[in-house]
């Protein structure tokens, strides 16, 4: 039950993809709940496309219901213009939204070190932010991608690579964002169990990264995830096709080569990319060969994938400047009802199409982009269109 004094309500959030939800995620929410004892646990979850620029292995509705069954009270869909950006913007815009909705704690996984050591590193990095930015720009000018430049800058500054992993860098960006926002959100780093985020092999009987699980779907992976997640995965695969990336490439080619839509204002775009793509696409490439041909020291595969999706969805850079005050709910239980009443004056809660009447013009742009993203996923996976209007949101009763 909630504390009577609303100002003292503990609201915990985890920024997530759950692609798919595995035992490491269950450990994270269980540990965070044990330490914080929150009145409400929120998952701000990527929709049908994730930060790597790929379609989620199962859709947002399935992942949201699993999240609710495994420890969360409320699952909010992250606007796709946030999920389809680099770690820096992904973290900042996510934390900005969580700050708006009154979150008091954010928990995240870290790798290779204890939380206290992590916080020491982060404090040193943030207090020397200008030096890090200068080093990052130096490596960018040497034609490295932003991600690689950030890695190299941190390695040079710290004179060590103990801290450096994709998970720790994202966690650092969360804390940097909280600092920039001057937010009251408190950070709770929790060390990952069993496997690191980038591990490709399944080497532990109970823990594996999401990447390793996705790469080993033909094996028995039941021990690596909660029962609800495994059942959801099997059900989704028995009723839907995996995303057709060659179809995605055809849609991209249609927009670029036939419609000739401009790419200049699109998120993740850099001058000259459109002409480069046109030259490559003059050959009959598959999606995989196209992405491999695009990769360079300066441009990662993930960035190219995100750019493709942002271009198809018409996600322009000015989305980052829009002010919006709504959340799109994917799943919730009874604990969230009181929270909806608490934020009613500040934040618009969207659960069904009729709720969009409350949105202003800027908010409608973001909401409609989320619907377009959902429909694109439907096309790629042979799922029904406009499921956001058809899928009733399930209210899970408290155990």
Q: Are 52 and 198 in contact (CB under 8 A)?
A: no
Is 290 a known ligand-binding residue? Answer: no
Please tell me the predicted confidence (pLDDT) of residue 120. Answer: 93
The residues, any chain, with a CB within 8 Å of residue 200's CB and separated by 6 or more, are 209, 211, 212, 215
Q: Select from 225, 237, 240 the least CA-distant residue to 66.
A: 225
Is 386 a known ligand-binding residue? Answer: no
Please tell me the predicted confidence (pLDDT) of residue 391. Answer: 84
pLDDT < 50 regions, the chain: 1-6, 399
Is 167 a known ligand-binding residue? Answer: yes
Is 18 a known ligand-binding residue? Answer: yes
Please tell me the predicted confidence (pLDDT) of residue 202. Answer: 79
Going from N- to C-terminal start, the domains of the chain cover 11-112+167-239+323-395, 126-164, 245-319
Is 21 a known ligand-binding residue? Answer: yes
CATH (one of 3.40.190.10, 3.20.20.70, 3.40.50.2000, 3.40.50.620) for 11-112+167-239+323-395: 3.40.50.620
Is 24 a known ligand-binding residue? Answer: yes
One-character DSSP codes across 178-214: HHHTT--PEEEEEE--SS-TT--S--SSS---HHHHH
Is 53 a known ligand-binding residue? Answer: no
Please tell me the predicted confidence (pLDDT) of residue 6. Answer: 47
Is 299 a known ligand-binding residue? Answer: no
Please tell me the predicted confidence (pLDDT) of residue 3. Answer: 44
Q: Are 184 and 190 in contact (CB under 8 A)?
A: no
How buried is 208 (Cβ within 10 angstroms: 0-12 exposed, 13-18 middle, 19+ buried)?
buried
Gap between the Cα atoms of 227 and 209, Å rounded = 17
CA neighbours within 13 Å on the CB side: how many for 113? 17
Is 79 a known ligand-binding residue? Answer: no
Residue 327 phi, psi dihedral angles, 5° rounding: -125, 140
Q: Could you give the C-alpha distances from 381 to 64, 288, 368, in angstroms and in order? A: 18, 17, 20
Angle subtended at Cα 22 by Cα 379 and Cα 146, rounded to the nearest 5 degrees: 70
Please tell me the predicted confidence (pLDDT) of residue 200. Answer: 65
**What tens digit of pLDDT does each residue of 250-296 get?**
999 999 999 999 999 999 999 999 999 999 998 889 999 999 999 88
Question: Are β-strands 74-78 and 40-46 bridged in parallel, bridged antiparallel, or unpaired?
Answer: parallel
Is 240 a known ligand-binding residue? Answer: no
Is 25 a known ligand-binding residue? Answer: yes
Is 16 a known ligand-binding residue? Answer: yes
Gap between the Cα atoms of 176 and 101, Å rounded = 19
Q: What share of the chain is helix, strand, coil (3-state, %, to 5)?
A: 50, 10, 35
Is 226 a known ligand-binding residue? Answer: no
Please tell me the predicted confidence (pLDDT) of residue 197. Answer: 60
Gap between the Cα atoms of 110 and 171, Å rounded = 7
Question: Are β-strands 186-191 and 326-333 bridged in parallel, bridged antiparallel, or unpaired?
Answer: unpaired
Residue 3 phi, psi dihedral angles, 5° rounding: -65, 150
């Amino acid at each position: 039950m909630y504390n009577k004094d609303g100002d003292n309500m503990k609201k915990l959030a985890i920024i997530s993809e759950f692609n798919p939800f595995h035992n490491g995620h269950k450990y994270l929410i269980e540990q965070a709940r044990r330490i914080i004892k929150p009145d409400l646990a929120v998952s701000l979850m990527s929709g049908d496309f994730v930060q790597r620029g790929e379609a989620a292995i199962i859709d947002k509705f399935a992942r949201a219901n699993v999240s609710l069954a495994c420890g969360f009270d409320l699952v909010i869909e992250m606007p796709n213009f946030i999920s389809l950006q680099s770690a820096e913007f992904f973290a900042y815009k996510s934390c900005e939204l969580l700050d708006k909705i009154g979150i008091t704690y954010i928990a995240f996984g870290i790798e290779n070190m204890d939380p206290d050591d992590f916080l020491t590193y982060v404090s040193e990095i943030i207090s020397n932010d200008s030096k890090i930015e200068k080093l990052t720009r130096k490596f960018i000018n040497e034609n490295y991608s932003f991600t690689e430049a950030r890695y190299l800058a941190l390695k040079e500054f710290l004179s060590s690579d103990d801290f450096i992993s994709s998970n720790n860098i994202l966690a650092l960006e969360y804390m940097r964002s909280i600092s920039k926002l001057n937010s009251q959100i408190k950070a709770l780093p929790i060390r990952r169990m069993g496997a690191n985020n980038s591990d490709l092999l399944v080497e532990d009987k109970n823990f594996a990264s999401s990447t390793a699980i996705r790469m080993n779907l033909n094996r028995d992976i039941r021990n690596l995830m909660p029962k609800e997640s495994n059942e959801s995965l099997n059900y989704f695969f028995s009723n839907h096709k995996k995303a057709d990336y060659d179809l995605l490439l055809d849609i991209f080619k249609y927009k670029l080569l036939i419609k000739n839509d401009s790419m200049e204002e699109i998120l993740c775009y850099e001058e000259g990319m459109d002409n480069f793509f046109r030259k490559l696409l003059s050959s009959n490439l598959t999606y995989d060969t196209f992405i491999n041909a695009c990769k360079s020291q300066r441009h990662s595969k993930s960035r190219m994938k995100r750019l493709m999706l942002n271009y198809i969805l018409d996600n322009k850079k000015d989305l980052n400047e829009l002010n919006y005050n709504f959340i799109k709910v994917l799943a919730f239980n009874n604990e969230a009802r009181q929270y909806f009443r608490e934020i009613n004056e500040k934040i618009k809660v969207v659960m069904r199409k009729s709720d969009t009447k409350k949105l202003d013009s800027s908010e409608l742009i973001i909401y409609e982009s989320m619907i377009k993203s959902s429909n694109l996923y439907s096309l790629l996976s042979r799922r029904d269109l406009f499921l956001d209007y058809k899928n009733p949101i399930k209210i899970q009763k408290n155990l």
